[in-house]
Amino acid sequence: MSLVPEAPPRLRLLRRLAVIRWRAGRMDPTVRGILWSGLAGLQFVLINAVMRDLSIRLGSFETQFLRYLAAALLLLPLVARTGLAAWRPRSVRGQFIRGGVHAAALYLWFIAVPHVPLAEITAISFTGPLFIMLGASLFLGEPMRPARWLAATIGMLGVLMVVGPQLRGEGGLYLLVLLASSPVFAGSFLISKALTRHERPAVIVAWQSITVALLSLPGALAYPWIWPDAGQWALVLLCGLLGSTGHYCLARSYQVAEISATQSVKFLDLVWASLLGWMVFGDVPAGWSLLGGVVIAGSTLWLARHEGRSATPVR
């Protein structure tokens, strides 16, 4: 029988969290960036499923406004605890530019989505990583290593395996509008990466919620307002929470790694979406979907392993 008293459960939990944090800190920064980005993708898949239901009931632009308003309101307890000074950005202008670009991308996306089949929406959304990697090379001076292009290309082939058999080529002008939103979203994420050089991730997320909510309000008021019921308010708060934590994970990813190194993990979103559809809606993926998911996951894991091996050891 041990004479040493057993530590309380809370203390044991804190110790385990400290060990996990210590081990994570010893990882290569690129691998940590990929993990942060993958966690963000999982949360965005969840929020898209919830927002799809809300946009049908409340309207797209109202749902967009309420999501970012809820995210801003959920941050109020943190602001009250730490004080306004801790949330004051070094560049208010930069935060509003980022919010304006992101709001513009959301407007384009919501205009097109009701008129474009889901397969085309999925296919076009995966052009984003290519725009981001190109922009990171042109504007942020990040090196585009062959391994990153190879992983992105293989991931794109996996996406085509999934959505290719379902493409019908319909949508006309709205398909072009949806395609136009992809480089605008890429611009928003590149600005976020630039902001992480002198802003904390939490500050970037907070000001994104504020700016996008303000810029989304005119679109929400342009249509008849539908007041959410209690259940819908709960879903709105869930969207705000998932959106804030998802963008926080993205900001942490951009803070610790080059943005071009984390883009292949974006293709894992299709895997998360397929699993969610199977578990929640009973949608059984087709054979090509399963094969594409294996290719996507394989390219992402290969890049993470390659980046970890090729990184210079830190003394």
SS (H, E, C) 94-140: HHHHHHHHHHHHHHHHHHHHHHCCHHHHHHHHCCHHHHHHHHHHHHC
Q: What is the pLDDT of residue 252?
A: 85
- The Cα–Cα gap between 143 and 133 comes to 10
Q: CB within 8 A of 129, min separation 6: which ones?
A: 152, 155, 263, 264, 266, 267
- Tokens for 137? 């090379």
Contact (CB, 8 A) for 167 and 119? yes
Q: Where are the beta strands (DSSP E) in the chain?
A: none
CB-CB neighbours of 10 under 10 Å: 8
Q: What is the pLDDT of residue 14?
A: 62
Per-residue pLDDT of the chain (315 residues; tens, 9 = 90+): 445 455 666 666 666 656 656 665 566 777 888 888 888 888 887 887 787 778 878 888 898 899 999 999 988 888 888 888 889 898 899 999 999 999 999 889 878 776 765 556 666 676 777 787 778 877 877 777 787 778 778 777 776 776 666 555 555 677 778 888 988 998 998 998 889 888 888 899 899 999 999 999 998 998 889 999 999 999 999 988 988 888 888 888 877 777 766 766 777 777 777 677 667 666 666 666 667 767 766 776 676 667 666 654 443
Q: What is the pLDDT of residue 246?
A: 86
Domain boundaries defined on the chain: 32-310
Q: What is the pLDDT of residue 15?
A: 67
Q: What is the pLDDT of residue 196?
A: 84
Q: What is the pLDDT of residue 112?
A: 79
Q: What is the pLDDT of residue 95?
A: 93
What residue has token string 């290309």?
Answer: 153
- The Cα–Cα gap between 124 and 164 comes to 11
Q: How far is CA 76 from CA 72, 85, 87, 120, in A?
A: 7, 13, 11, 38
Verdict on whether the full-model pTM lies above 0.85: no
Q: What is the pLDDT of residue 102?
A: 93
CB-CB neighbours of 313 under 10 Å: 5
Residue 294 C-alpha from the chain's centroid: 21
